[in-house]
Amino acid sequence: MSEPQGPIVYSDRRAVSETESRRANGPDWDRYADEYQATHGPFLGDIGFIWGPEGVTEESLRVLGDLAGRQVLELGSGAGQCARWVRHQGGTSYGLDLSHRQLQHSLRLDDATGVAVPSVRATATAIPFADDSFDVVFCSFGALQFVADIEVAVADVVRVLRPGGRFAFSITHPTRWMFPDDPTAEGLTASQSYWDRTPYVEIDVTTGTASYAEHHRTLGDWVGLLSAAGFRLTDLIEPEWPADNDRIWGGWSRARGELTPGTAIFGADLLATAQR
């Protein structure tokens, strides 16, 4: 079988709407899913919950709290490894992802492990579940940094969470935005402004349309977003690079990870007073 051919692209920084982001990132993840799962699947574990390339586990951090008996939703669930681990902890978890191919990998792992994660193809900005459906919503490097309308996504999390519910997510550490996506020492020289929120976009040279989009918010932006939506921030974890991890994952490596954080993990509780 031949490899799926992606478009020829150039990278740029420019405004990109929610619709454009979704139209770009869904097909991009469809094209990339097989390689992503072949490269990172063994590190993720078929039933495994890591919060990012450092390999720090939910088992060690317990950001989500006790999961037994909880209704749990994973946004940007990919092949559902994290949500499957939640089921092992006694939670009833569901997946949501934009990419059809990622969800086919989730079905493959459902069969291989015997632990099925019912999943839906949807976007984090229009979560197709009823109000007050979940005790916990989480996202491990999933949808949030691919979404332009982040206020819409966070408002939808508020809607599907029960009062007192837990929201936790990991993202590329915002300070990484200053550096090139290069895992070597060369990637440690800041070359762009931390405060420049202009999205990173890859443009198809043939059509001029976006074929990939990533959105940046500062640490302060995230704190403001959570607080405005009615959350009480309880955790902001910046994992250190572990002594036993010599893996390179994109721009993440020991060379950079020993000097500067690569991942930020937020944990927050929905206040009973939140506007819904």
Interface residues with ligand SAM (CB under 6 A)? Answer: 22, 25, 29, 44, 75-78, 82, 96-99, 102, 123-124, 140-143, 146-147
Q: Which of 221, 271 has the CB closer to ligand SAM?
A: 221
CA distance 226 to 158: 10
* Closest approach of ligand SAM to the CB of residue 70, in Å: 18
Give the Cβ contact number of residue 99 at 10 Å.
23
* Closest approach of ligand SAM to the CB of residue 13, in Å: 19
Q: Which of 29, 179 has the CB closer to ligand SAM?
A: 29
CA distance 85 to 249: 22
Q: Which of 128, 164 has the CB closer to ligand SAM?
A: 128
How far CA 47 is from CA of 39, 157, 264, in Å, comes to 16, 24, 22
* Closest approach of ligand SAM to the CB of residue 156, in Å: 11
Q: Which of 25, 263 has the CB closer to ligand SAM?
A: 25
Three-class secondary structure of residue 172 per DSSP? strand
Report which DSSP code applies to 32: H
* Closest approach of ligand SAM to the CB of residue 272, in Å: 28
Q: Rounded to 5 degrees, what are φ and ψ at 85?
A: -65, -40
User: Smallest Cα–Cα separation from 80: which of 52, 46, 113?
Assistant: 46
Q: Which of 57, 163 has the CB closer to ligand SAM?
A: 57
What secondary structure does DSSP assign to 73-131, as a single string? EEES-TT-HHHHHHHHTT-EEEEEES-HHHHHHHHHHHHHHS----EEE--TTS--S-T
* Closest approach of ligand SAM to the CB of residue 189, in Å: 25
* Closest approach of ligand SAM to the CB of residue 90, in Å: 20
Q: Which of 29, 177 has the CB closer to ligand SAM?
A: 29
Interhelix angle for 100-113 vs 18-44, to 10°?
30
